[in-house]
Structure 1
Amino acid sequence: MYQYYNPHPKGSKTAKDCVKRAVCKVTGMDYMSVQRMLNRIKNEIGAEHFSCKSVGEELGRRSGWGRIIFDKWGDYSMMDGKTFCKEHPHGKYILKMPRHWVACVDGVLYDTWDCSDEGVCDAWVIEEAQ
């Protein structure tokens, strides 16, 4: 359900690079290429930071990724990372959680920490199982 994953070239565990980690895992791109791509999008759309919601939305649109939006109860998602993994045992996804992105590949969350109990707001569908 969870596997440690950190593609940072220097092994840094700095916060605020979860978007880069998730995109690296599902696309196979290297960390620095993802960083350049996100910063290019940030500059093109005039966003404040590469991890802004608007940058993620634009990346998903440009990449042609599908999207799954989950039911919420008030401000809380009705689905957590564990449940998502059980219900999606095959395919590649980026799960968007409050203030966090994580890669899910074939039912396993890849990240520097186990976020499987966090609520999933929505998900980008990178590659669905056939």
Structure 2
Amino acid sequence: MKAECQCGQLTVELPGPTPAVVACHCTACQRRSGSPFGLMAYYPADQLTIGGEVRRYERPTDEGNTFGTFFCPTCGSTVYARAGKHPAMIGVAVGAIADPEFQPPVRSVWEQTMHRWITVPGDVQHFPKGRG
């Protein structure tokens, strides 16, 4: 499997499906993704191969950690992210994988700022804020 930016310059090679797909409805993910929520598939960093030039934007979290997003300097697409509280994991933007068969989320977080018309289907864990 492969994730890539719009122009194809920044890529992430993936080992396959992951049991950790998270829908985040926080306002930072809404602004980062330009959509009502962000959807990330999390993998151990040592299972991924990242290629191409990348830029990083790091923001503080409500818990006092950091959250870094990594994007293509040419087209601006966010392709992956890294949470300071889980430094061994990388979240790959599911939209960058662009596979309509990719598995749905197992968790939905920051639902207190979820758009009221959104319904997260399936057997999913729901959290008003982060998982805690």
Structure having the higher helix fraction is 1
TM bracket (short chain): under 0.3
Normalising by structure 2, we get a TM-score of: 0.28
Normalising by structure 1, we get a TM-score of: 0.28
